[in-house]
Amino acid sequence: MKTATLKRQPSTSDGTFGTLTLDKSSWRSLELPWKDNKSQVSCIPTGTYKCTWIESPKHGECYQILDVPKRSMVEIHSANWAGDVSLGKHCQLLGCIALGKGVGVLEGQNAILSSKTAMAEFESLLNKEDFTLVIS
């Protein structure tokens, strides 16, 4: 089973940016800011997780991150924003992880770019096989 590593940068009100690496490929990642693992407003805790290919009711075919404490249906899917909505920021995530080709500014907020392209590359590399995700 392959292992992907996600190295986070410190959280800000625009989200938690990082880099996800698998084999010799890497993508930028984006998650919600850290808020003590509170459902739908926080990124998930650091740790090691198994990920499996599913048919998501909301996002179609994608990877689900299994056995996240106090969470369900945590997925890896395309998105651009993960800001703190309590501060009026744009947000398209509820605890999931998004991948992108780079980081930039969209509508005045830090965001990841070319997310659908990045997700297609990531999914193609894994070919729907389960993998281990290590978040630090």
Walking along the chain (136 residues) 10 residues at a time, the average pLDDT comes out as 97 97 97 95 97 95 97 96 96 97 97 98 97 98
Strand partners, 33: none
Structure-token pair, residue 46: 């650091």
pLDDT at 79: 97
pLDDT at 38: 93
The CB-side HSE value for 45 (13 A sphere, CA atoms) comes to 12
pLDDT at 18: 98
pLDDT at 26: 98
**E strand spans, 1-136:** 2-8, 16-22, 25-31, 47-56, 60-65, 74-76, 98-100, 102-106, 109-113, 131-135
The identity of residue 14, as a single letter, is D
The identity of residue 68, as a single letter, is V
pLDDT at 111: 98
pLDDT at 127: 96
Residues 6+ apart with CB under 8 A from 62: 53, 54, 56, 75, 76, 77, 119, 123
